[in-house]
Structure 1
Amino acid sequence: MTIVLGALAFGTRIDEAQSFDLLDQYLDLGGEWIDTADNYAFWMHPSGRGGQSETVIGRWLSKRPGVRDRVRISTKGGAMGFPDNPDGLSAGALTAAFAGSLERLQTDRVELYWAHIEDRSVPLEETVTTLGGFVADGRAARLGVSNHPTWRVEQARNIAASLDVAGYSAVQLRWSYLQPLPGVALPQSGHVHATAETFDYLRSHDDVSLWAYNTLLDGGYTRADRPLPDAYDHPGTARRLTVLDEVAAETGATRNQVVLSWLAGGPLPILPIVGVTTAAQVAEAMGARDVVLTAEQRARLDRAA
């Protein structure tokens, strides 16, 4: 079971020293994937510009000889509205964004590079060709796409195949155990939620994995000071929480750990991303790897809706 460390808050909400401690702890507990983006987190920084997370990770790597070969880096480019990249997924914007990410990360390659936010102002072939070039020149091992509808993912993969360049092998979308009501706006307007179509696509394409973000709903499963958004205010939430508590009691795990085990231990390739700001959160998330759900428990969790 793989738990991905979400580094969005590194260098902004939490300082460099604390970020280093969390990265060290994650690595010591057997973690291997760190997920970030070139625009993290411009909305939390006085300058209004991003890059803080990548910069902190790069400094951490530079101060830990040999660590780069033990971790895998996932970062993103092409977020329109980000001050340093107003041009989205154009060839020029992506080329500049990727070069900036590598410089901040102090590395010559990443294991996974993502097209961050959909940009229909740019021909899809231009985006696909540019991203494929990053794999061809060895700077990216794989490509992913986040916050895109399934039909655009398939269209891009078909274009990549026709051009004989690397295509997307991962999609990143919002997904957790509790489900929002369809059509009700989420507080994070940029989030794109996985749907039944997403999972139908995954079942038909075994070369594509889902990276799920906002898996713990910003603390909504366990923290009274982090109430669930209005989109989750429906009877299905209460029913799912009842079963979640039953399974947590049976396994001796926390709600969060059962959610992560449900996500990562199922029949489809799902990698949950967990955003952390404290050592306790890292320990809890990594402890989810020891929570093994029985087929009956998983079926019970699935049925509740």
Structure 2
Amino acid sequence: MDTTTMNSPLVFGAMLLGTRIDQEQSFALLDRFVERGGQWVDTANCYTFWLSDSGAGGASEEMLGRWLSARPGLRDQIRLSTKVGAEPLWPGSWPQQREGLSRRAILQGLETSLQRMGAAEVDMFWLHQEDRSTPMAETVEALGELTSSGQVRRVGASNHPAWRVEQARGLARAGGTMPIDALQLLATYLHVRPGLRTPGVEHAFGVLNAEQRDLARTNGLEIWAYSPLMSGSYDNPDKPVHEAFEHIGNTRRLQALDVVAGQTGATRSQVVLAWLLAQGIRPVVGVSTTAQLDLAMEAGRLDLDAEQVRLLDETG
């Protein structure tokens, strides 16, 4: 396997591995990702409970474990990212009853994730969904145990409001442990209509907003974008844009996408990925075919000029 290609800034979203994507195709996608210079692979301990026969997560992590076992030495060349906090306590109990972010849930969650993936540590460990029933100090102390032991190299927060992230960061700094340094949220080129539920987002603070961006920019936090391509809606006529994105501002933004796509010879989706990267946002890309993966990886090397970025930024 040729792994000498320049590192890609994209993240491989492994959510559907082991459920909708079988082992043969999972291995093919992961192999191709590494061949194209990919490093970061993102999953969660709850993926994908809503598609599994058991109603529990773990299939994605288990698939990654089988892939790594079949590729000796590859673990040192990739970075593993997983999450804790959203696994249902029993089938059908989510979202009312889920594991949460207590010390016990965090420590057990990581232990199980490492066992599934056959790994000694993870490079990024995300708080998947906020848990206000657990004191933030307890959550932060548990994360501090894991970063101090070396089992977790970095800590991130997904689907959390900005003030809760900064509260956690302050507690970590006060306790001398590693603070959260990354956010993972839904982010794409189109803007969500206020008051409408966004498809695929079951969290009150799941869509990237101005306050979260300001927190990240001011404190040097990374932003990872999940669902950046809206499940193919930018280019697939069989997947129309969801009503949450239907408004005149987005009509104009789609027109701007078409202009830049025409100038670059890229697809709308590729322009969206390139634009996110130009904003300093790292896209998490979930694909089901190697052809889709290749298009995404090519977008990671698409350089938009200043005028194209300005047009995309200011339209709508």
Instruction: Return the TM-score normalized by structure 2.
Output: 0.93
Task: Give 1:261's aligned residue.
Answer: 274
Asked if 1:178 is matched to 2:201, the reply is no
- Measure how far apart 1:225 and its partner are: 1.7
Q: Pick one of 109, 120, 123 that aligns with 2:121.
A: 109
Is contact 1:41–1:52 with CA below 8 Å preserved after alignment? yes
Give structure 1 regions of 4+ aligned residues with deviation exceeding 4 angstroms.
Answer: none
Is contact 1:42–1:82 with CA below 8 Å preserved after alignment? no
Task: Give 2:255's aligned residue.
Answer: 242
Task: Give 1:144's aligned residue.
Answer: 156
- Measure how far apart 1:188 and its partner are: 2.5
Is contact 2:56–2:88 with CA below 8 Å preserved after alignment? no
Task: Give 2:178's aligned residue.
Answer: 166
Instruction: Return the TM-score normalized by structure 1.
Output: 0.96
Is contact 1:43–1:49 with CA below 8 Å preserved after alignment? yes
Is contact 1:39–1:82 with CA below 8 Å preserved after alignment? no
Is contact 1:146–1:172 with CA below 8 Å preserved after alignment? yes
SS in 1 for 2:174: helix
Task: Give 2:284's aligned residue.
Answer: 273
Distance 2:309 2:84 in 1: 36
Deviations 1:142-194 (A, max 9, x none): 00010000000001000110111111010100000011112211133424101
Is contact 2:46–2:87 with CA below 8 Å preserved after alignment? no
Deviations 1:2-40 (A, max 9, x none): 000000000000101110000000000000000000000
Task: Give 2:243's aligned residue.
Answer: 230
Q: Which runs of 5+ in 2 are unaligned?
A: 1-7, 92-96
Q: How does 1:291-302 map to 2 (within 5 A)?
A: 291-302=302-313
Task: Give 2:212's aligned residue.
Answer: 198
Distance 1:254 1:132 in 2: 43
User: In structure 1, what residue type is equivalent to 2:308?
Assistant: Q
Query: Identity rate of aligned residues, in percent?
Result: 46
- Measure how far apart 1:87 and its partner are: 3.1
Is contact 1:77–1:97 with CA below 8 Å preserved after alignment? yes
Q: How does 1:86-105 map to 2 (within 5 A)?
A: 86-105=98-117
Task: Give 1:282's aligned residue.
Answer: 293
Distance 2:82 2:215 in 1: 23
Distance 1:189 1:22 in 2: 25
Deviations 1:187-242 (A, max 9, x none): 33424101111221122112x11011010001110111212211111111110010
- Measure how far apart 1:289 and its partner are: 2.1
Is contact 1:244–1:258 with CA below 8 Å preserved after alignment? yes
Q: Pick one of 132, 143, 153 that aligns with 1:120.
A: 132
Task: Give 2:27's aligned residue.
Answer: 20
Seen in structure 2, the aligned counterparts of structure 1 residues 2 and 71 have a Cα distance that, compared at 3 Å, is: same
Task: Give 1:132's aligned residue.
Answer: 144
Is contact 1:144–1:172 with CA below 8 Å preserved after alignment? yes
Asked if 1:42 is matched to 2:49, the reply is yes
SS in 2 for 1:43: coil
Task: Give 1:55's aligned residue.
Answer: 62
RMSD over aligned CA atoms reads: 1.3
Q: How does 1:61-76 map to 2 (within 5 A)?
A: 61-76=68-83
Is contact 2:56–2:87 with CA below 8 Å preserved after alignment? no
Distance 2:198 2:224 in 1: 19
- Measure how far apart 1:291 and its partner are: 1.0
SS in 2 for 1:197: helix
User: In structure 1, what residue type is equivalent to 2:276?
Assistant: L
